[in-house]
Structure 1
Amino acid sequence: MGACGNIPIFKDGLGCRPCFKIKCNKPAECSSKPMVVHITDMNYEPIAVYHFDLAGTAFSAIAKKDEEEKPCKAGIVDMQFRRVKCKYGSKITFHLEKGCNPNYLALLVKYVDGDGDIVVVDVKEKGSDTCEPLKHSWGAIWRKDSDKLLKGPLTVRLIAEGGTNTIYDDVIPAN
Structure 2
Amino acid sequence: MGSSLSLNNSLVSGFSPAVATWYGSPNGAGSGGACGFADDVANPPYNGLISAGNQNIFKHGEGCGTCYQVKCTENPACSGFPIVVTITDECPGTCNNEAFHFDMSGKAFGYLAKLGQADKLRNAGRINVQYQRVPCKYNMGITFKIDTGSNANYIAFAIEFVSGDGDVGSVELLPSNSKSSLSMQKSWGCTWKVGIPVGVKGPYSVRLTTIESRNTITANNVIPGNWSPGQYYRSEANFS
- Shorter chain as denominator, the TM-score bin is over 0.9
Residue 92 of structure 1 corresponds to which residue in structure 2?
142
Give CA deviations for 1:20-47 in whole Å, capped at 9, x if unaligned. 0011122121001011001110001424
* Inter-partner Cα distance in structure 2 for 1:78 and 1:171: 42
Give CA deviations for 1:44-93 in whole Å, capped at 9, x if unaligned. 14241110011111111100112111221111111110111110121421
1:2 aligns with 2:57: no
Whether contact under 8 Å (2:177, 2:200) holds in the other structure is no
* Inter-partner Cα distance in structure 1 for 2:117 and 2:135: 29
1:44 aligns with 2:92: yes
1:123 aligns with 2:173: yes
CA RMSD of aligned residues (A): 1.4
* Inter-partner Cα distance in structure 2 for 1:111 and 1:36: 14
* Inter-partner Cα distance in structure 1 for 2:129 and 2:93: 17
Distance 1:82 1:147, change over 3 A: same
Shift of 1:99: 2.0
**Structure 2, unaligned runs of 5 or more:** 1-48, 227-240
* Inter-partner Cα distance in structure 2 for 1:168 and 1:91: 9
Residue 60 of structure 1 corresponds to which residue in structure 2?
110
Residue 12 of structure 2 corresponds to which residue in structure 1?
none
Distance 1:150 1:96, change over 3 A: farther
Residue type of the alignment partner of 2:225:
A
Residue type of the alignment partner of 2:68:
F
1:174 aligns with 2:239: no
1:136 aligns with 2:186: yes
Residue 103 of structure 1 corresponds to which residue in structure 2?
153
1:17 aligns with 2:65: yes
* Inter-partner Cα distance in structure 2 for 1:114 and 1:95: 20
**Structure 1, unaligned runs of 5 or more:** none
SS at match of 1:70: helix
SS at match of 1:158: strand
* Inter-partner Cα distance in structure 2 for 1:150 and 1:101: 13
How many aligned positions are there?
A: 175
Residue type of the alignment partner of 1:164:
N
Distance 1:77 1:86, change over 3 A: same
SS at match of 1:107: strand
Higher strand share: 1
SS at match of 1:39: strand
SS at match of 1:26: coil
Residue type of the alignment partner of 2:56:
P
Q: TM-score, normalised by structure 2?
A: 0.69
User: Percent of counterpart pairs with the same letter?
Assistant: 37
Residue type of the alignment partner of 2:129:
M
SS at match of 2:169: strand
